[in-house]
Structure 1
Amino acid sequence: MSGNGRAGHITLPEIDSTNAEGFRRAQTLAGPTWILAGVQTAGRGRRARPWSSPPGNFHGTLVLKPTEPPETVALRSFAAALALRDAFVQMTGFPSSFTLKWPNDVLCNGGKIAGILLESQGLNTPDATLCIGIGVNLIAAPDAAQIEAGAVPPVSLLSETGLRITPEAFLDALAPACDRWEATFRREGFAPLRAAWLAHAARLGQPIRARTGSQTREGTFETIDPQGNLVLRTPAGTLAIPAAEVFF
């Protein structure tokens, strides 16, 4: 996601975590850069959960040097989700198969096929770095028995579509899509991303559960607001939730 031309890329056979490598290399990078790993030995998802990273799946990070305030920088998770969906549709020709789950997952036929992890350091300083970590189950998905009860079951692109796509080929579709959404975000702000995201949102207008810490709220998924918060309509009123685990 560059606003100044296409991002470069670095491919490594094995690394602990592409986000960790992004931070290690950040100060030496001349511009937006993708880091792609054949294998991650310590991949992680949200809340530091381990992320299964077998060979053949996509494990990549886009390293950026953002200049905006932290709340604006965080909205790039929606740009990444939209770019992922564009890449999936381009490579499969199945637009109806791919939906977006708040806050940062992509679903294929209702199962989780990709996740996004934003991590940042030094925002609002000259050394600001944002690492947008993306994991895609191209050929393998974790065992459903390892997934938290009630969570969306994981699926792979191969199992759902029969298509075997390499990580390198997927990056060839994903990187330009990220560039396009980044350019839109810089030029027009969050509004067009919000509209596009809502057009592909999973379970919009339907009952969901949102868990924040030990508290779980149930209600109707009404929208996302201009700050990217989940808007949940409950019997007690309408809530704007900035961060939560969502269950269907």
Structure 2
Amino acid sequence: METIAETGSTNADLIARLTAGEPLLEGHWLVADRQRAGRGRQGRQWIDAPGNFMGSTAIRLHPGEPPAPSLSFVAALAVYEAILAHLAQPVGLMLKWPNDVLLSGSKFVGILLEREGDWAVLGIGVNLAAAPALPDRETRSLAQSGPAPDRDGFAIGLADCLSRELDRWRQFGLAPLLARWLAAAHPLGSALSVHDGRGIRVHGRFAGLELDGALRLRLDDGRVHVIHAGDVVVEGS
């Protein structure tokens, strides 16, 4: 575990190291006390706060493994398991497609997966101590549900959880992973609103996942619409 006081983006730092040919070992984490240019999905800014977790790690990709984009589900499950250890009651902790982790319906985790050659660089931000206000969504911190976890202790636990999830992903494949993800996600039949990759907002009911992890949305007329990328809102949450 490598800790630095301040940087622009831990993901960008690791990508720069890989591009420069610096040898990295899988399992090495770069964790920042402050991050000036943290990023989320679709180019959104991830706003940091003292005491929160902001870190990245690199995952070596090998032939024969499940598709690299499915690492988003691996990351979400790892974060989910790491957070469970710090909640007196897990009620309200839920996964949201494709890789969000919600607490009482509010966003408090950011996950960004980027590809660099034969490596996937995974960035994770978790609101442990404070929840910066966002203009477009409700936010929350773990400190609102109990004592804020120590950042370094949380980092060690998260690294262990990710290592276990990666082992399962490589050994058992994608199907068991998606089954475990579904068990922790919004229930089948949940009303969802999806802003898909074409800029179209679609409303329907959650109908599970495709074999590759794509979202199945049942429309009012009974048709199933398959979505490979988009922003999801769990309606009524």
Could you say what secondary structure the match of 2:86 adopts?
A: helix
Query: Are 2:111 and 2:124, in contact at CA under 8 Å, matched by a contact in 1?
Result: yes
Q: 1:205 to 1:68 in 2, by over 3 A?
A: farther
TM-superposed CA distance for 1:94, in Å, is: 2.5
Is 2:123 the partner of 1:137?
no
Give the Cα–Cα distance (whole angstroms) in 1 for the partners of residues 187 and 63 of structure 2: 31
Give the Cα–Cα distance (whole angstroms) in 2 for the partners of residues 10 and 202 of structure 1: 35
Query: Are 2:175 and 2:211, in contact at CA under 8 Å, matched by a contact in 1?
Result: yes
TM-superposed CA distance for 1:70, in Å, is: 9.9
The number of equivalent residue pairs is 229
Counterpart of 2:211? 226
Counterpart of 2:181? 197
Counterpart of 2:15? 23
Counterpart of 2:107? 112
Map 1:58-207 to 2 at 5 A: 58-68=53-63, 72-122=67-117, 128-143=118-133, 146-148=134-136, 151=137, 153-159=138-144, 161-207=145-191
Percent of paired sites with the same residue: 36
TM-score between both structures, scaled by the size of structure 1: 0.87
Is 2:227 the partner of 1:241?
yes
Paired amino acid for 2:5: P
TM-superposed CA distance for 1:235, in Å, is: 3.0
Paired amino acid for 2:149: I
Give the Cα–Cα distance (whole angstroms) in 2 for the partners of residues 68 and 197 of structure 1: 24
Runs of at least 4 residues of structure 1 off by over 3 A?
Answer: 68-71
Which of 192, 201, 206 pairs up with 1:216?
A: 201
Q: 1:68 to 1:46 in 2, by over 3 A?
A: farther
Query: Are 2:48 and 2:132, in contact at CA under 8 Å, matched by a contact in 1?
Result: no
TM-align CA RMSD = 1.7
Query: Are 1:114 and 1:135, in contact at CA under 8 Å, matched by a contact in 2?
Result: yes
Paired amino acid for 2:150: T
Could you say what secondary structure the match of 1:76 adopts?
A: helix
Q: 1:19 to 1:68 in 2, by over 3 A?
A: farther
TM-superposed CA distance for 1:98, in Å, is: 1.3
Residues 149-185 of structure 1: CA distance to partner in whole angstroms, max 9, x if unpaired?
xx4x1100001x1212122111111111101110000
Could you say what secondary structure the match of 1:75 adopts?
A: helix
Q: 1:69 to 1:52 in 2, by over 3 A?
A: farther
Query: Are 2:3 and 2:31, in contact at CA under 8 Å, matched by a contact in 1?
Result: yes
Residues 64-99 of structure 1: CA distance to partner in whole angstroms, max 9, x if unpaired?
221248970110111111111111111224233311
Paired amino acid for 1:48: G
Unaligned runs of 5+ in 2: none
Query: Are 1:59 and 1:134, in contact at CA under 8 Å, matched by a contact in 2?
Result: yes
Give the Cα–Cα distance (whole angstroms) in 1 for the partners of residues 68 and 147 of structure 2: 34
Paired amino acid for 1:31: L
Which of 4, 27, 33 pairs up with 1:12?
A: 4
TM-score between both structures, scaled by the size of structure 2: 0.91
TM-superposed CA distance for 1:129, in Å, is: 2.0
